[in-house]
């Protein structure tokens, strides 16, 4: 099992696959943020709708990943698009859920003070709710990213590329160094993403707020 | 300045939490709404800045119906301080104080100098505290910032909802004193909600005692203490309350109005009869005036009769005229001091026209004392 040998011979492929993997998860998580955070904000005051949304997202989360990828194929064909859509769906739940929790945890007295001082709804959202819940929202994004990096290794099965290519090809060829390289690369990617997002979370959170551990 | 007219508020369409409430608040007045928890104080207060809309009735500020105004603009011109402070934890002290002026797009330099000025006033020096966060401040300091934030946009009106009730007693006292000082300095119209009658008495120019959404009595603290309108107010205020605020006790509160009088034209013989009848040796000598008032002329004691042969001698000729006349509104402590200093035993109390109102003796003081000492305690 000569991993070093394998890596040194195939480093261009490995880098390409890693970049593919990053773009797969990156695009899905980004989409999930752009859509999930506003959804979280818009449903926070409607308990019923919020529950329905959370339930739907929970159901999606329970679908085995392979099945979800398969479900997406009839609509998106094969390749990157169905994979990105499926990963996006996976990322949505933790992001919406944490956005909801984050905003709900904002002390109502502070919102009342904000209203009493004459802040509009938008001002309250941008100047109070977002900064006060950003660490919880960021924690959701972190969970989503790490989950997606793991699940994205299956995307190879619908032809989306990524580090899964190495793992599944390796399995087929009984090439253990290849399998290990794919697995280690994806695990390191997850750790690295978590680390970097952790730094972002810290930077974005005001020093006035004691950071809550993951909600 | 602020007028609440026939205000009702109902949450369920049946019972009125605030019930046909009328309240007039003058400019610069410090009005305290006081009452038991759940009586509708907060609801009343929040209707003034439209955090709650009344079910019926009107509220005017400076003659304008507040319904005709934009909610947010209205609120930016009304300071608002709440019990749980409500400072933005993610903002520094400086940013917190700047909140409303920023919403109003005031100039940065103007805001900065205002912040510095206010931080100076609340005794949190700018250099030391401007860039701290609320959680790095004590509860009392936080609430000072809350007050500064409410003052920052120079509102005419400030609403305060139990702002000090979460603080320890010593800090609370301090902040109350500071608030009074600020009120002196800025002359803002303040509407202050509390369930603590002591706080109400200490702070208010006027107190509105509220029960079940109605104002039971709206008066100065002094009037509320001395002349509670009914038993509810009396028990709410507490019988022994007056003694906790001795500054409010005046000569007329400790005098006895059962003073035995004699007209100046009466003779010694007649006076001795009166003394016997009332079992006393000292009388107030008076002269009849219009509208059943009597001017105090002097005091006469039976010792004055010694050696007087002529029993027809009139009182006004032998009475003691250089008596110390106590004005009715002289504070208790001053009365006690004068009595001690001049070794007085009988001090007549008079109104501005020197009409006799009553008399202060050691017995009258003791009587008042015994009425006010809490009944429940036994000695
Ligand atoms: N949003 C609400 N919905 C229903 N009832 C309410 C609401 N807010 C207050 N109440 C009721 O109105 C009454 C007065 O409340 P409040 O004005 O907060 O009293 P206070 O400030 O004097 O303690 C209470 O009985 C309370 O339960
Ligand atoms: Mg209240």
Other C-beta atoms closer than 10 Å to the C-beta of A121 total 11
Kindly tell me if the per-residue pLDDT of B376 is higher than 60.
no
Give the tokens for residue A200.
Answer: 């972002």
Task: Indicate which CATH number applies to the domain containing A167.
Answer: 1.10.3720.10
- For an interface test with B, give the residue of A123, A130, A208, A209 to mutate (most B CBs within 10 A): A208
Kindly tell me if the per-residue pLDDT of A211 is higher than 70.
no
Residues B345, B338: Cα–Cα separation, whole Å: 11
The lowest-confidence range among A38-47, B157-166, B252-261 is B252-261
Percent of chain A with pLDDT over 70: 97
Residues B314, B312: Cα–Cα separation, whole Å: 6
Residues B361, B347: Cα–Cα separation, whole Å: 7
**What's the pLDDT at A215?**
41
Give the helix/strand (H/E) hosting B165.
none
DSSP E strands: which ranges in chain B? Answer: 2-9, 18-25, 30-34, 56-61, 64-65, 78-82, 157-161, 189-194, 206-211, 214-219, 261-263, 282-288, 294-301, 326-327, 347-350, 356-360
Residues A107, A50: Cα–Cα separation, whole Å: 19
Other C-beta atoms closer than 10 Å to the C-beta of A73 total 17
Q: For residue A11, give its domain range.
A: 3-214
The lowest-confidence range among A114-128, A138-152, B230-244, B255-269 is B230-244
Identify whether the C-beta of residue B25 lies closer than 8 Å to the C-beta of residue B191: yes
**What's the pLDDT at B240?**
63
- Classify the phi-psi angles of A161: left when phi > 0, otherwise alpha if psi is within -120 to 50, otherwise beta: left
| CA atoms in the 13 A half-sphere facing the CB of B324 | 19
Identify whether the C-beta of residue B298 lies closer than 8 Å to the C-beta of residue B285: yes
Kindly tell me if the per-residue pLDDT of B34 is higher than 70.
yes
Q: Using one digit for the tens of pLDDT, what is the confidence trace for B69-84?
A: 999 999 999 999 998 8
Kindly tell me if the per-residue pLDDT of B93 is higher than 70.
yes
B94 close contact with A: CB closer than 8 A: no
A114 contacts B88? CB cut-off 8 A: yes
B80 close contact with A: CB closer than 8 A: yes
Per residue, what are the HEC states of chain A? CCHHHHHHHHHHHHHHHHHHHHHHHHHHHHHHHHHHHHHHHHHCCCHHHHHHHHHHHHHHHHCCHHHHHHHHHHHHCCCHHHHHHHHHHHHHHHHHHHHHHHHHCCCHHHHHHHHHCCCCHHHHHHHHHHHHHHHHHHHHHHHHHHHHHHHHHHHHHHCCCCCHHHHHHHHHHCCHHHHHHHHHHHHHHHHHHHHHHHHHHHHHCCCCCCCCCCC
Kindly tell me if the per-residue pLDDT of A1 is higher than 70.
no
A110 contacts B89? CB cut-off 8 A: yes
The backbone torsions φ and ψ at residue B339, rounded to the nearest 5 degrees and listed phi first, read -60, -40
Burial (Cβ within 10 Å: 0-12, 13-18, ≥19) of residue B39: buried
Which ligand lies nearest to the CA atom of residue B15 in the structure? 1
How many angstroms is it from B165 CA to the middle of ligand 2? 11
Cβ density class A35-46: b for 16+ within 10 Å, e for less: ebbebbbebbee
Nearest-atom index, ligand 1, CA of B39: 22
**What's the pLDDT at B323?**
86
Task: Report the DSSP beta bridge partners of residue B192.
Answer: B32, B160
Residues B264, B298: Cα–Cα separation, whole Å: 9
**What's the pLDDT at B282?**
85
Mean pLDDT of B36-60: 94
Average pLDDT over chain A reads 90
Chain B CB contacts of A131 below 8 Å: 90
Q: In terms of DSSP bridges, do strands B282-288 and B294-301 run parallel, antiparallel, or are they unpaired?
A: antiparallel
B100 contacts A109? CB cut-off 8 A: no
Q: For residue B178, give the 3-state DSSP assignment.
A: helix
Whether the CB of B96 sits within 6 Å of ligand 1: no
**What's the pLDDT at B375?**
53
Give the tokens for residue B271.
Answer: 């006076």
Average pLDDT over chain B reads 89
Residues B40, B10: Cα–Cα separation, whole Å: 10
**Tokens 């001017």 appear where?**
B295
**What's the pLDDT at B244?**
66
- For chain B, the C-alpha Rg in angstroms (whole number) is 28
Residues A120, A127: Cα–Cα separation, whole Å: 10
Mean pLDDT of A99-118: 92
**What's the pLDDT at A73?**
85
**What's the pLDDT at B366?**
83
Please work out, in degrees rounded to the nearest 5, the angle formed at the alpha carbon of residue B268 by the alpha carbons of B354 and B313: 85
Residue A214: pLDDT band (50, 70, 90) is very low
Least Cα separation, residue A94 to chain B (angstroms): 24
Identify whether the C-beta of residue A89 lies closer than 8 Å to the C-beta of residue A60: yes
Task: Report the DSSP beta bridge partners of residue B217.
Answer: B209
Q: How many domains does chain A have?
A: 1
Residue A72: pLDDT band (50, 70, 90) is confident
Which ligand lies nearest to the CA atom of residue B212 in the structure? 1
**What's the pLDDT at A79?**
87
A28, A36, A92: which is closest to A63 by C-alpha?
A: A92
DSSP B128: H
Identify whether the C-beta of residue B248 lies closer than 8 Å to the C-beta of residue B225: yes
Cβ density class B248-279: b for 16+ within 10 Å, e for less: bbbbbbbbeeebebbbbebebebbeeebeeee
Q: Using one digit for the tens of pLDDT, what is the confidence trace for B193-246?
A: 999 998 999 999 999 999 999 999 999 998 898 888 998 898 888 766 666 666
Chain B residue whose CA is closest to A120? B72
Identify whether the C-beta of residue B95 lies closer than 8 Å to the C-beta of residue B88: yes
**What's the pLDDT at B54?**
95
Cβ density class B310-334: b for 16+ within 10 Å, e for less: eeebbbbeebeeebeebbbebebee
Residue A150: pLDDT band (50, 70, 90) is very high
Residues B248, B242: Cα–Cα separation, whole Å: 7
- For an interface test with B, give the residue of A111, A112, A116, A210 to mutate (most B CBs within 10 A): A116
The backbone torsions φ and ψ at residue B29, rounded to the nearest 5 degrees and listed phi first, read -85, 145
DSSP B325: P
């Amino acid at each position: 099992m000569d991993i070093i040998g394998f890596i040194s011979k195939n480093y261009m492929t490995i880098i390409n696959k890693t970049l593919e993997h990053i773009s797969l998860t990156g695009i899905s998580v980004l989409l999930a943020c752009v859509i999930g955070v506003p959804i979280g904000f818009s449903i926070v005051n409607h308990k019923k709708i919020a529950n329905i949304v959370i339930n739907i997202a929970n159901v999606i989360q329970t679908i085995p990943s392979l099945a979800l990828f398969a479900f997406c194929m009839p609509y998106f064909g094969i390749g990157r698009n169905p994979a990105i859509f499926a990963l996006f769906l996976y990322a949505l739940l933790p992001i919406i859920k944490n956005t909801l929790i984050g905003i709900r945890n904002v002390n109502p007295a502070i919102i009342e003070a904000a209203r009493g001082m004459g802040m509009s709804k938008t001002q309250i959202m941008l100047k109070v709710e977002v900064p006060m819940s950003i660490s919880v929202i960021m924690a959701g994004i972190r969970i989503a990213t790490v989950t997606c990096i793991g699940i994205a290794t299956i995307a190879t099965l619908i032809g989306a590329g990524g580090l899964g290519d190495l793992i599944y090809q390796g399995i087929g060829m009984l090439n253990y160094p290849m399998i290990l390289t794919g697995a280690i690369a994806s695990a390191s990617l997850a750790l690295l993403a978590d680390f970097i997002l952790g730094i972002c979370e810290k930077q974005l959170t005001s020093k006035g707020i004691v950071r809550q551990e993951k909600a | 300045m602020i007028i609440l007219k026939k205000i009702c508020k109902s949450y369920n369409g049946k019972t009125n939490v605030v019930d046909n409430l009328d309240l007039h608040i003058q400019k610069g007045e410090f009005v305290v709404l006081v009452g038991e928890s759940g009586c509708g104080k907060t609801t009343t207060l929040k209707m003034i800045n439209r955090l709650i809309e009344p079910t019926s009735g009107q509220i005017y500020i400076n003659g304008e119906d507040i319904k005709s105004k934009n909610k947010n603009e209205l609120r930016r011109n009304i300071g608002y301080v709440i019990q749980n402070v409500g400072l933005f934890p993610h903002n520094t002290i400086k940013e917190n104080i700047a909140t409303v002026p920023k919403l109003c797009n005031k100039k940065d330099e103007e805001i900065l100098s205002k912040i510095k000025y206010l931080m100076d006033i609340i005794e949190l020096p700018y250099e030391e505290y401007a860039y701290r966060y609320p959680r790095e401040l004590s509860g009392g300091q936080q609430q000072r910032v809350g007050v500064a934030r409410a003052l920052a946009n120079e509102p005419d009106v400030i609403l305060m909802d139990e702002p000090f009730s979460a603080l320890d007693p010593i800090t609370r006292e301090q902040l109350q004193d500071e608030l009074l000082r600020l009120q002196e300095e800025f002359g803002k119209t303040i509407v202050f909600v509390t369930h603590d009658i002591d706080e109400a008495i200490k702070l208010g120019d006027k107190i509105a005692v509220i029960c079940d959404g109605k104002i039971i009595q709206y008066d100065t603290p002094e009037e509320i203490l001395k002349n509670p309108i009914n038993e509810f107010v009396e028990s709410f205020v507490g019988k022994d309350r007056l003694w906790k605020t001795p500054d409010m006790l005046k000569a007329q509160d400790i005098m006895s109005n059962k003073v035995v009088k004699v007209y100046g034209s009466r003779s010694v013989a007649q006076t001795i009869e009166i003394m016997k009848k009332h079992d006393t040796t000292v009388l107030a000598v008076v002269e009849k005036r219009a509208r059943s008032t009597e001017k105090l002329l002097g005091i006469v004691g039976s010792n004055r009769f010694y050696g007087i042969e002529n029993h027809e001698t009139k009182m006004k000729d032998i009475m003691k005229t250089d008596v110390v006349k106590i004005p009715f509104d002289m504070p208790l402590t001053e009365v006690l001091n004068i009595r001690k200093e001049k070794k007085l035993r009988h001090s007549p109390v008079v109104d501005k026209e020197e009409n006799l109102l009553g008399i202060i003796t050691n017995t009258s003081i003791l009587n008042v004392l015994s009425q006010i000492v809490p009944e429940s305690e036994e000695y």
